[in-house]
């Protein structure tokens, strides 16, 4: 039987079914308590090694293990916070020295990248019977804003977990299976896809599913030091307990319906040519002209390689001069838009709803 979502009664019934299927689909993909425990032990082990080189340093988790959007076997993003009182070494020097020590003292495969914009050490642990997927871990030296945007995403995840978390987790699985989730290969990071979902729920949906956390005024005075980092405004309303009590969206759409509309919006309605997604602003959209993000070619003199950095434009919520989607090439965007169209088409006319989440993913 083929279902057509055209009629609104049918659409509502189907979206309820789809919502249930999405919850069941996501549940077994969440990390287990055991996985969290192994990752925490790993973090502590690495921190003990780093402290020997840089006394007082701490390793803090960010990205999906800390923002509420982790899937089973996600990579671990760790940030090294140095004690300013005791640090005579540069980030690049530390990357090399700590990398050598980890290589010497653990089974990790170690790749230090001291010359990266933010120096990092990439670590991988091969699979074993007790760790069937191994561990992939990046340790960053510098880049405090990553901790702040992790807290912002966690704030959003806490406001409406059933809808935002389910949508983001499904979009992450979908984008990885459809091979459009790789900043290194010209497509978009999970962080970028998460911002697409937050923009959709905060600014496209009326009434909005989420409030704009960067525009809710503080209830207590905020000191200038805590509201800014490196000249960037990092304020957002982060009283999660109060938010959960106070925020109640007038939007009652189900996850299934929102997923369908999400795909349709990015397949048909979003203006890729002119618009910049800016979740921090009222309305959520700026123009590429206003940002000066038009024909911003990144040219590599040696290879005469040039690419348009702003084909897809997603302003970072705090580092507003930074396009989170700058890695997306012309081909990458073509593929991503093709995938939005494919998913939207599949949700429009489908066979059995209970197998739909997996149908949207298959090769």
Q: Give residues 321-350 in contact with ligand ATP (rule: CB under 6 A).
A: 324
Query: What is the C-alpha to C-alpha distance for residues 183 and 173, in angstroms, rounded to an integer?
Result: 16
Instruction: Specify the residue, 63 or 256, whose C-beta has the smaller distance to Mg ion.
Output: 63
Sign of CA dihedral 229, 151, 113, 81: positive
Q: Pick from 149, 187, 212, 254 the residue near ligand ATP by CB under 6 A.
A: 149
Q: Pick from 35, 77, 148, 339 the residue near Mg ion by CB under 5 A.
A: 77
Asked if 69 interacts with ligand ATP (CB under 6 A), we say: yes
- CA distances from residue 268 to 64, 145, 224, 237, 343 in whole angstroms, order as listed: 29, 33, 42, 32, 12
Asked if 191 interacts with ligand ATP (CB under 6 A), we say: yes
Residue 235 has φ and ψ, to the nearest 5°, of: -70, 140
Asked if 186 interacts with Mg ion (CB under 5 A), we say: no
Asked if 277 interacts with ligand ATP (CB under 6 A), we say: no
Sign of CA dihedral 81, 219, 163, 321: negative
- CA distances from residue 57 to 111, 138, 166, 193 in whole angstroms, order as listed: 20, 16, 35, 32
Q: Pick from 54, 91, 187, 189 the residue near ligand ATP by CB under 6 A.
A: 189
Cα 26 to the center of its chain, rounded Å: 17
Asked if 140 interacts with Mg ion (CB under 5 A), we say: no
Q: Pick from 42, 63, 146, 323 the residue near Mg ion by CB under 5 A.
A: 63
Binds 149: which of ligand ATP, Mg ion, none (CB < 5-8 Å by kind): ligand ATP
Asked if 112 interacts with Mg ion (CB under 5 A), we say: no
Cβ proximity of 291 and 319 under 8 Å: no
Binds 150: which of ligand ATP, Mg ion, none (CB < 5-8 Å by kind): ligand ATP
Asked if 150 interacts with ligand ATP (CB under 6 A), we say: yes
Task: Give me the residues paired with residue 233 across strands.
Answer: 228
Degrees, nearest 5: CA angle 44-46-48:
70
Asked if 119 interacts with Mg ion (CB under 5 A), we say: no
Instruction: Specify the residue, 324 or 347, whose C-beta has the smaller distance to ligand ATP.
Output: 324
Asked if 190 interacts with ligand ATP (CB under 6 A), we say: yes
Where are the strands (E) in 42-189, listed by range?
58-62, 76-81, 109-113, 120-125, 135-141
Asked if 62 interacts with ligand ATP (CB under 6 A), we say: yes
Positions that interact with ligand ATP (CB under 6 A): 62-64, 67, 69, 71, 74-75, 77, 146, 149-150, 172, 183, 189-192, 316, 324
Positions that interact with Mg ion (CB under 5 A): 63-64, 75, 77
């Amino acid at each position: 039987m083929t279902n057509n979502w055209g009629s609104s009664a049918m659409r509502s019934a189907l979206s309820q079914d789809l919502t249930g299927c999405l919850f069941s689909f996501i549940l077994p993909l969440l990390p287990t308590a055991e996985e969290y425990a192994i990752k925490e032990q790993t973090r502590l082990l690495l921190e003990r090694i780093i402290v020997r080189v840089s006394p007082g340093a701490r390793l803090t988790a960010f990205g999906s293990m800390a923002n509420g959007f982790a899937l089973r076997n996600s990579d671990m993003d760790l940030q090294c916070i140095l004690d300013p009182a005791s640090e005579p070494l540069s980030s690049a020097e530390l990357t090399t020295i700590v990398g050598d020590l980890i290589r010497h003292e653990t089974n990790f495969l170690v790749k230090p990248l001291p010359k990266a914009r933010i120096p990092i050490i990439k670590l991988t642990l091969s699979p074993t019977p007790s760790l069937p997927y191994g561990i992939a871990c990046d340790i960053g030296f510098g880049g405090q804003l990553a901790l702040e945007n992790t807290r912002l995403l966690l704030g959003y995840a806490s406001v409406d977990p059933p809808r935002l978390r389910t949508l983001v987790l499904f979009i992450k699985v979908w984008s990885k299976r459809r091979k459009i989730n790789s900043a290194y290969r010209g497509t978009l990071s999970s962080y970028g896809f998460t911002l697409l979902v937050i923009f959709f729920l905060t600014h496209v949906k009326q009434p909005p599913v989420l409030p704009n956390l960067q525009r809710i005024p503080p209830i207590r005075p905020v000191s200038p030091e805590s509201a800014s980092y490196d000249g960037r405004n990092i304020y957002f309303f982060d009283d999660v307990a109060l938010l959960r009590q106070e925020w109640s969206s007038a939007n009652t759409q189900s996850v299934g319906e929102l997923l369908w509309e999400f795909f349709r919006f990015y397949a048909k309605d979003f203006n890729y040519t002119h618009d910049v997604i800016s979740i921090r602003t009222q309305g959520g959209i700026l123009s590429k002209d206003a940002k000066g993000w038009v024909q911003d070619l990144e040219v590599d003199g040696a290879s005469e390689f040039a690419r348009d950095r702003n084909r897809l434009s997603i302003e970072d919520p705090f580092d507003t001069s930074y396009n989170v989607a700058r890695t997306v090439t012309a081909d990458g965007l073509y593929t991503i838009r093709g995938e939005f169209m494919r998913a939207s088409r599949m949700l429009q006319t489908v066979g059995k709803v209970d197998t739909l989440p997996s149908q949207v993913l298959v090769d």
